């Protein structure tokens, strides 16, 4: 009897094992062809660690400026692995980060999806490249965001308008090689948003009575496309990198792109000199605050343009650095991924407004 029972159990076990095997063959066997095809496309035979992939959902595009997200944009275009960027709101529940650009929230075009149930590990990112005076009232957003993303150095995800990247150009180059040859204008300014109450308007109005300033841009009906912008500025000794508002760390493309990439020495109006020196060599720019009066500034610029050697010294940084500047929203967002491990694991902005005013 005991023997018979044992026998029965053995048979049952064998049958069960066979059924399991057939079942698993049916399930996995069907998947094999697609699995093989998938592996064949992979350049790297190492298995992908799917537990370490960061998914970012861009809730809507800043200023409605959409861009293609086909394929794996972060790795294929920007060399950032394990990072998925989508603009598909239906993937909300799978997102590690959801990005909200501030402008559309404050003007009422978009709303935070507070009605959706939010996975515990998910972080909401408040994103803005504007200075506080242009960010509107942030009080309604208290308690919703986990991360700030902005040009500010103390943002959780720091995305400046530009930065200098050390570069080895080898030997044989001199500063002269980096100075555009056909300088013909003393000072230039490109302005699209001209408002009488801006400090920069006041400074410009005074400065133009002291030295000639060539003005371009939408505000004076002399719009420049990107190519003419570069060639126009390269003909200027100095470029007025005047920010629309004076605010901590607020150093924009007017400095990085228009002046530094354009090949003119920036004359800056913006945060204090130390803040510029934190991101660029102190002899790469001229600060309006360095002078007791605009007359002195004007006089200084006039003399400097005539002193070839001294003028060239403002380009010394070019032998050591190149400028990396904001180009593409997608790249900015993909750059969140490599920063994940440095973020605080748990954080809520209970007073975003106070953070902004800090
Ligand atoms: C995830 O990837 C990062 C860098 O890509 C690495 O430093 C980290 O250890 C990885 N984490 C896990 C859990 O594999
Ligand atoms: C994100 O913020 C929410 C509050 O709005 C909070 O419940 C959640 O724990 C935070 N998540 C992280 C990862 O900090």
The tens digit of pLDDT for each residue in 115-150 reads 999 999 999 999 999 999 999 999 999 999 999 999
Mean pLDDT estimate for the chain: 89
Atom of ligand 2 at shortest distance to CA of 124?
1
Direct distance between the N- and C-terminal alpha carbons of the chain, in angstroms, rounded to an integer: 85
pLDDT digits (tens, 9 = 90+) for 331-349: 999 999 999 999 999 999 9
43 pLDDT band, cuts 50/70/90, is low
* Global confidence as pTM: 0.83
Mean pLDDT of 8-13: 52
The domain ranges of the chain are 50-159+329-357, 163-325
- Confidence check: pLDDT of 293 > 80: yes
pLDDT digits (tens, 9 = 90+) for 229-286: 999 999 999 999 999 999 999 999 999 999 999 999 999 999 999 999 999 999 999 9
Residue of minimum CA distance from atom 14 in ligand 2: 346
The class that CATH gives domain 163-325 is alpha beta
Q: CB of 346 closer than 6 A to ligand 2?
A: yes
pLDDT in the model for residue 206: 97
Q: How far is CA 66 from CA 30, 62, 230, 300, 337, in A?
A: 39, 8, 25, 45, 20
**Cβ-based burial of 351 (10 A; exposed 0-12, middle 13-18, buried ≥19):** middle
Cα 115 to averaged position of ligand 2 atoms, centre (Å): 15
Q: How far is CA 58 from CA 97, 125, 304, in A?
A: 8, 10, 47
Cα 145 to averaged position of ligand 2 atoms, centre (Å): 7
The residues annotated as belonging to the active site are 130
User: When comparing pLDDT for 20 and 251, which is higher?
Assistant: 251
5 pLDDT band, cuts 50/70/90, is very low
Structure tokens at 105: 């929230």
């Amino acid at each position: 009897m005991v023997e018979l029972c044992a026998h029965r159990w053995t048979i049952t076990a064998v049958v069960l094992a066979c059924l399991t095997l057939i079942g698993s063959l049916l399930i996995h066997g069907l998947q094999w062809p697609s699995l093989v095809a998938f592996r064949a496309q992979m350049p790297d035979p190492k298995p992908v660690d799917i537990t370490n992939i960061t998914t970012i959902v861009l809730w809507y595009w800043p200023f409605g400026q959409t861009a293609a997200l086909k394929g794996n944009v972060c790795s294929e275009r920007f060399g950032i692995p394990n990072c998925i960027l989508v603009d598909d709101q239906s993937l909300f529940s799978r997102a590690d980060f959801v990005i909200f650009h501030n402008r559309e929230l404050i003007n009422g075009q978009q709303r935070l999806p507070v009605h959706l149930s939010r996975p515990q590990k998910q972080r909401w990112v408040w994103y803005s490249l504007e200075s506080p005076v242009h960010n509107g009232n942030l009080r309604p957003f208290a308690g919703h965001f986990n991360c700030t993303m902005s040009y500010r150095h103390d943002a959780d995800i720091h995305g400046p308008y530009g930065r200098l990247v050390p570069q080895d150009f080898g030997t044989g180059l001199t500063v002269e090689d980096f100075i555009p040859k056909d300088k013909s204008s003393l000072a230039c300014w490109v302005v699209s948003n001209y408002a009488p109450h801006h400090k920069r308007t006041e400074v410009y109005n005074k400065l133009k009575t002291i030295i000639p300033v060539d003005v371009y841009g939408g505000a004076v009906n002399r719009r420049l496309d990107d190519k003419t912008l570069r060639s126009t500025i390269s003909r200027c000794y100095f470029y007025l990198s005047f920010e629309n508002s004076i605010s901590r760390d607020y150093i924009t493309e007017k400095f990085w792109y228009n002046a530094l990439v354009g090949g003119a020495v920036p004359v800056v109006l913006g945060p204090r000199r130390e803040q510029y020196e934190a991101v660029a060599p102190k002899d790469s720019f001229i600060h309006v605050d360095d002078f007791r009066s605009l007359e002195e500034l004007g006089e200084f610029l006039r003399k400097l343009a005539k002193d070839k050697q001294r003028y060239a010294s403002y380009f010394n940084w070019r032998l050591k650095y190149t400028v990396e500047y904001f180009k593409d929203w997608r790249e900015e967002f993909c750059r969140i991924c490599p920063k994940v491990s440095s973020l605080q694991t748990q954080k809520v902005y209970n007073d975003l407004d106070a953070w902004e005013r800090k």
